Structure 1
Amino acid sequence: MAAPFEKTRDKKGRFAANKKKRVVSVPRYVRNEHSYTSANISRTDQPEHAEGDDNWKEGRRIVEFGVLLSNLRHCEACRLGPVALTYDSVVGELQKGLGGYLYVKCSNNDCNHVNRVPYGSTHRVKKLGMPCFAVNTKLGTAMIDSLGGPDRVNNVLAALNLKPISQKNLKMIERRAGNFVESIAKSSMSKAAKDSFELEMEDVGNEESKKAQEEMGEEIDGLGVSLFHDASPSVKKLVCRESAALQSPELLKDGTDVPGSSRTVKDIFKGRAKLKKRAPCQPSQQQSLKCKKKLVSKFPTKTRSGMSCAVDTAWQKRGFDSLTSHTFFMSKAKYGKKVVKTVVSHRTCGTCKWWQRNRPGQEIRKHRCVHNHTGSARLMESVSGVQGIKELIDSGTPVDILEGDGDNTMISRIKSELGITMKKRLDKNHVIKNIGKRLYALHGTKGVKLSKTVIVHLQKCIKYALAKNQTKDDLEENLKAILPHQFGDHSCCAARFCGFKRNPSEKYIHRSLPYKAALKNDQLRQHLQPIFDQVSARAAQYVDLGSSQQCEHANKEVTMRIPKSLHYGNSDALDFRVHATAAFINEGRGYISKHHVGFSI
């Protein structure tokens, strides 16, 4: 019996042929991303020019004429010039992304030196090595701000008939620009947080002063002062004693003590007489005197110790299995709607995973690891909130009030980990949206006749109630009257919001309901009553509502730079784009010019 034939298997377990495969050596720097332009890939590590190299004749270039002509004034070797730029004098090209060098032969027959002439402005990031072209650095900023990843950039370049750039070089360009974008965004957020904190504390202090002034008592005779309503009993007693001593000068004859005081009336007036005997300061002396200790310009407020922020977290993938998320902390609309802090969370790092998968047991190469979260995607919101609050406290701009959706997980985690009791303001739009979800769920219930027109009208009535009522009792009264009002029952209505109460003699028309008439389905009212009972029971929370719409706007700006259909979370590309969004919201398009100024380009 013949021995069984053994076949080899590949890594996936499939049978593989024993034939030797022909290995074709391909340069490591070549990445064939676009087959239609594979012959024109720009490589920064390609060898020096060769005679008869005609690649410079193909495609388009971005040329700065001032830089090109200034470098053609004279030859580097013989110092004669100008160097002629003709079809025959150009012998090659060294391309560096969108910039590069032309190799131009000197027109002097005794010299024939080949000059390397850049056709774009350059700048230096490191002292050693070749300089970087400004157009490449600006391309990195464009990748972060608007273009997208390397593949999208090469698609744009191919459409413009510009030579594509290898993906490795594009990532280097993006990382060089992204690090500086992050520094600009962090400085901008720090300034916005400080300004917002100072403005809000100043407003709170003014409100406290105004309220205290209204609650002050009458002026005390003889002293010209008045006491605060919350002054301590010992202070009140002391002021009354001093006032009694000033109002009873006849006690000076026998030097009797002021009732309840260790000082006599004579002592009080002797001290004041000494003050009067002091010689007044001359004007020259007053100008030369300087206070050694500076007075504190800003005092802490009594009712608040921090500012209020709108907070919202968004995930780069729909659902609760996303690998990345970002959280924005933004100031109130009154203080500019500025981003004061951003937190980006990653559940994975692409470089670490590649080395663990393909090079197990080897030390992972040095890189910027972005893996900073362990746990579920839903946990990212509360963990990011704690991190942002802690960083704001460390920077001297603490937060007292958070405005956002109805999720209290962040509040409880802040209390347990940081020991801070935060006040939560619900977002008005989230409140209306959550009530609408319950109404639309009832709309889909079999046997319940609830149209979308009625749902929209009920949401509109709740919006009016939340906007017009400033006290708990008025809001609760209005919310309880909304549902009976739609069914023609006006017993709970008030004249300030019900037209039937204002004009009972006229026929009342429900303009937004079907057929402009009141609803008549008792079964529908029984299903709606529990929903509105819960809404009216939470009237105390709905009196003081906040808004996180500025965070929704920031999330929309992020999706323009990071579409949910693409994954940027394996590297620091996500951090660059989130920080670019924060810089754009705070500084506008001017942050790009600041970026270029930082690179001296």
Structure 2
Amino acid sequence: MRNSRRRGRFSKQATATKYDVVSDAQRKRWEANVVLSQHNYSTTASEDDKTDSGVLLDLADDTSNVRDAPILATAQEEIVYETSRVDNQWRSGRRIVELGVLADGLAGCKKCGLPLHLHHTTGIINYGVSALLKIPCLNTSCNHINNVPTGKKHNRVWDANSKLVAAVQHTGIGFAQINGILAELNIPPISKTLYDSRQEEVGLATESVAADSVQEALVEEVNKSSINSTSNSITVSVDGAWQKRGSGRSYDSLTGHCSMIGTETGKIVAYSIRNKSCKVCEIAENGDQVPSSHDCKRNWSGSAKSMEPDMVVEMVGNVMQQGVKMEAIIADDDTAAISNIHRNLDPGIKAIHRQ
């Protein structure tokens, strides 16, 4: 071990010893990434891969981004040791981690390329169920704090958060229920703001996929009908439902939905939704203000019972606008829907009452 005290740099032997230990460890770490010139495989490398000392860099590891970095601290450099308290909260609880993304993030420091280690993490920033790990580089000439993600992103949005809200929508649960599940798993909960923003994103994507799906199903229904009945006309079954069940005397549900199913394929060829409520609009109206710009879903002001006939007429009209002929409609004993279709669309469409 070199005696650094003779150079007059350090005032204490402990400081000099610490300097020598760090320098030796750093030298060994970097020397592990080189290939000795006397080895037989060193002759296969090109002259461009040689350093000034004639030693070849290991071609198996991509160290091109660290070749110019200083290998060790010189005696004239002062090493500053961090004394701040390390935040170990990242060890608490559980996280959703994509192993491939984490492995890529730990592959090398963004500044010098030295491999990172997960157990050197000093902190974590949670973004819903995803996170950024704060991992410092061990190269004392670098000390760069790397932000290592635990998952993928699309634009600036974490994939895991979008997938989580899509699962919430698919299963029919809500914000409180999903946070209850995360709490039982000891995973940090998501905020209401994040939930609402991802719900809007997922909703738009779902509507787009649904529109493409019903269009493909309609084409398939027409093709099968023309083969089986030698006619371009289709026969469909329609039925509606409400979020809140009616009692027979009271129908006060705020939303309703209706679907049209082809009899040949059994697939949904059209659907419609009615919504009487919008929180943004209602809050603005109660305060005599103009609602802010938003994706308003309120499209109905009538009674809940009158939703189904209106939705049936809308679906039949949309299908007919695409050049598809309607032969018959299988439905409940709803004379209002059939009479509206005969009066406004096509009086030749047959009505088959569902038993």
Relative to the length of structure 2, the TM-score reads 0.71
2:106 aligns with 72
Q: CA deviation at 1:308?
A: 0.7
Contact 1:140 1:175 in 2 (8 A): no
Of the two structures, which has the highest relative contact order with CA contacts closer than 8 Å and spacing of 6 or more? 1
Of 75, 85, 90, the match for 2:118: 85
Q: How does 1:497-512 map to 2 (within 5 A)?
A: none
- 2:210 corresponds to which letter in structure 1? A
Whichever structure has more strand as a proportion of its residues is: 2
- Aligned residue pairs: how many? 268
Aligned ranges 1:249-398 → 2 under 5 Å:
301=231, 306-319=233-246, 320-332=251-263, 335-357=264-286, 359-361=287-289, 363-398=290-325
Change (3 A) 1:115 1:147: farther
2:133 aligned residue: 102
Equivalent AA in structure 2 for residue 66 of structure 1: G
- Is 1:114 matched with 2:158? no
The one of 331, 339, 352 equivalent to 1:412 is 339
Report the Cα distance in structure 2 between the residues aligned to 1:343 and 1:51, rounded to whole angstroms.
Answer: 58
What is the CA distance between 1:419 and its match in structure 2?
4.6
Shift of 1:190: 0.8
Contact 1:403 / 1:424 at 8 angstroms: preserved in 2?
yes
CA distance in 1, matches of 2:103, 2:270: 47
In structure 2, give the amino acid aligned to 1:83.
L
Residue 235 of structure 2: SS of its match in structure 1?
Answer: strand
User: How much does 1:160 deviate?
Assistant: 0.7
> Distance between the aligned counterparts of 2:219 and 2:237, measured in 1?
16
Q: What amino acid is the match of 1:354?
A: I
**Given that residues 414 and 421 in structure 1 are in contact (C-alpha distance below 8 angstroms), is that contact kept between their aligned partners in structure 2?**
no
Instruction: Give the deviation of 1:413 after TM superposition.
Output: 0.9
The residue type paired with residue 341 of structure 2 is I
The amino acid of 1:94's aligned partner reads: I
Distance verdict in 2 for CA 1:372–1:149, change over 3 Å: same
Q: 2:91 aligns with which of 50, 57, 60?
A: 57
> Amino acid of the residue matched to residue 62 of structure 1?
I
Instruction: Indicate if the aligned counterparts of 1:147 and 1:153 stay in contact, CA closer than 8 A.
Output: no
The 5 Å alignment of 1:455-470 reads: none
- CA distance, structure 1, for counterparts of residue 215 and residue 243 of structure 2: 25
Is the aligned partner of 1:424 residue 2:355? Answer: no
- State the 1:174 CA deviation: 2.2
Equivalent in the alignment of 2:219: 194
| Deviation of 1:165 (Å) | 0.5
Q: Secondary structure at the match of 1:396?
A: coil
Q: CA–CA distance in 2 between the matches of 1:51 and 1:370?
A: 50
Q: CA RMSD in A?
A: 1.8
SS of residue in 2 equivalent to 1:67: helix
- Separation in structure 2 between the aligned mates of residue 414 and residue 132 of structure 1, nearest angstrom: 45
Measured after TM superposition, the shift of residue 145 of structure 1 is 0.9
Secondary structure of the residue that 2:301 maps to in structure 1?
coil
Cα distance between partner residues in 1 of 2:152 and 2:164:
14
Report the CA distance between 1:387 and its aligned residue.
0.7
Task: Report the alpha carbon displacement of residue 147 of structure 1 after superposing the two structures with TM.
Answer: 5.3
CA distance in 2, matches of 1:425, 1:154: 47
Higher helix proportion (structure 1 or 2): 1
Aligned to 2:199: 174
- Paired letter, 1:330: I
Tell me which residue corresponds to 2:185: 160
Q: Would you say the 8 A contact 2:224–2:265 is kept in 1?
A: no
Q: Check whether the contact 1:151–1:167 (CA below 8 A) recurs between aligned residues.
A: no
Please give the TM-score of this superposition, normalised by the length of structure 1.
0.43
Give the secondary-structure state (helix, strand or coil) at the position aligned to 1:188: helix
Q: 1:398 to 1:369 in 2, by over 3 A?
A: farther
**Counterparts of 1:350 and 1:116 in 2: how far apart (Å)?**
39
> Taking structure 1 as reference, are residues 365 and 51 closer, same or farther at Cα in structure 2, changes over 3 Å only?
farther
Identity of aligned residues (%): 30
2: CA distance between counterparts of 1:58 and 1:341? 49
CA deviations on 1:152-200 (whole Å, 9 max, x unpaired) are 1101101111111011211222222222122112111111111112221
3-state SS in 1 of match to 2:186: coil
Counterpart contact for 2:220–2:265, Cα < 8 Å: no
Query: Does the 8 A contact of 1:143 with 1:174 survive in 2?
Result: no
